[in-house]
């Protein structure tokens, strides 16, 4: 038995498993390892400090895998936004065939990518936003439930409801994202109407993830309750691992009249990168989802993907089939 879905067919991959674009983690080492293991690895464009650096990273990834891989371009509101158009042009000029987009107002980028024949995965946290993205022309929707790391939106709808709600209204292939880390999750996602899963936190706890071993052990030790929801009062909710920094951010942000500037010194991306690279778990924010409670080891990407697919196949063909019989 093999798991063939619309996602595996459209992306040309063996397993219906996509590695999410993760800031500071989505490097050539990570993306190539996932792609070589049969999934879809993804480089994170803004992890690279300049468009030229992204061009070099794409070329480096090409030397590490001959399998399909993609690039994530996340568009976020910012006082001093990065040169998104320049990053987009690098992606196009490099001949990248698959792009994951995320964030608000992606239409300009979607139109340009589509004009160059690029397959687009767009990450959404609500059905209404997914429907808008489909109208723009994206090829695959990655629907992100409340369990996820990163920004789950403001609706607080978990995957068990969000995934089938999206599947009921969306005709393009669907990736289930948020809370996935094993074969049970993959089998469940397929049962709920998705065509595959997107994983971020789970891929951080792999041999190839370019982060400190202490951070990987931190994810293994944590349970499903060891996250904090930050920026709630600023309508920009984010889910991160529980540590002294995120505890402080929650406390400051919950005070009456709190403004983003009050927490800004503690939440910089530079400090988060330093935490990931140094293993100093209280240096900055560590973005992680509730799936931490399902992470018990640090395998290679190849072993992880093989195990997830084999377990999902066993659940579908043996346990569930027996229940029907």
**pLDDT tens figures, 259-304:** 999 999 999 999 999 999 999 999 999 999 999 999 999 999 999 9
Strands (E), the chain: 17-19, 41-44, 69-75, 98-103, 119-124, 140-144, 174-177, 196-199, 227-230, 238-241
What are the pLDDT digits (tens) for 202-258?
Answer: 999 999 999 999 999 999 999 999 999 999 999 999 999 999 999 999 999 999 999
Q: What is the greatest pairwise CA distance in the chain?
A: 60
Q: What are phi and psi of 269, to 5 degrees?
A: -60, -30
* 213 against 76, higher pLDDT: 213
Q: Which residues pair with 119 in a beta bridge?
A: 98
Closest CA to 307 of 191, 224, 185: 185
Look at residue 116 in the predicted model and tell me its pLDDT: 98
> Coil, strand, or helix at residue 150?
strand
For residue 77, the model assigns a pLDDT of 73
Tens digits of residue pLDDT in 7-50 = 999 999 999 999 999 999 999 999 999 999 999 999 999 999 99
Separation between Cα atoms, residue 138 and residue 170, nearest integer Å: 11
Per residue in 162-210, pLDDT (tens digit) is 999 999 999 999 999 999 999 999 999 999 999 999 999 999 999 999 9
| pLDDT at site 121 | 98
pLDDT at 80: 85
Confirm if 276 and 212 have CB atoms less than 8 A apart. yes
pLDDT in tens, 91-134: 999 999 999 999 988 899 999 999 999 999 999 999 999 999 99
Cα 323 off chain centre by: 33
Measured CA distances, 198 to 17, 179, 224, 265 (Å): 6, 9, 18, 31
What structural domains does the chain harbor? 6-208+300-324 (3.20.20.70), 213-290 (no CATH)
Q: How far is CA 47 from CA 60, 106, 202, 317, in A?
A: 14, 19, 19, 40
pTM score, two decimals?
Answer: 0.96
């Amino acid at each position: 038995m093999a798991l063939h879905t619309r996602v595996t067919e459209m992306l040309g991959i063996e397993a219906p498993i996509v590695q999410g674009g993760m800031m500071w983690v989505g490097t050539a080492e990570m993306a190539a390892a996932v792609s070589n293991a049969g999934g879809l690895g993804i480089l994170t464009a803004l992890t690279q400090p300049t468009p030229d650096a992204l061009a070099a990273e794409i070329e480096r990834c090409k030397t590490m895998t001959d399998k399909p891989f993609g690039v994530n371009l996340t568009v976020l509101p910012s006082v001093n936004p990065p040169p998104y158009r320049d990053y987009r042009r690098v992606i196009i000029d490099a001949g990248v065939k698959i792009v994951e987009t995320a964030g608000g107002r992606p239409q300009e980028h979607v139109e340009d990518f589509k004009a160059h024949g690029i397959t687009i995965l767009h990450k959404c946290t609500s059905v209404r936003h997914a429907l808008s993205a489909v109208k723009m022309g994206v090829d695959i929707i990655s629907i992100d439930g409340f369990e996820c790391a990163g920004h789950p939106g403001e609706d607080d709808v978990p995957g068990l409801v969000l995934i089938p709600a999206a599947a009921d209204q969306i005709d393009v292939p669907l990736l289930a994202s948020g809370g996935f880390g094993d074969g049970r999750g993959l089998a469940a996602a397929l049962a709920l109407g998705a065509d595959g899963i997107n994983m971020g936190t789970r891929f951080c706890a792999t041999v190839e993830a370019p982060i400190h071993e202490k951070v990987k052990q931190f994810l293994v030790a944590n349970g499903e309750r060891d996250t904090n929801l930050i920026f709630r009062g600023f309508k920009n909710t984010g889910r991160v691992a529980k540590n002294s920094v995120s505890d402080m951010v929650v406390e400051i942000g919950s005070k009456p009249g709190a403004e983003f500037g009050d927490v800004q010194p503690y939440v910089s991306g530079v400090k988060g990168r330093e935490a990931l690279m140094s293993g100093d778990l209280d240096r900055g924010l560590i973005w992680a989802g509730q799936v931490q409670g399902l992470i018990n080891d640090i395998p290679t990407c190849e072993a992880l993907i093989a195990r997830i697919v084999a377990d999902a196949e066993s659940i579908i063909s043996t346990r569930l089939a027996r229940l029907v019989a």
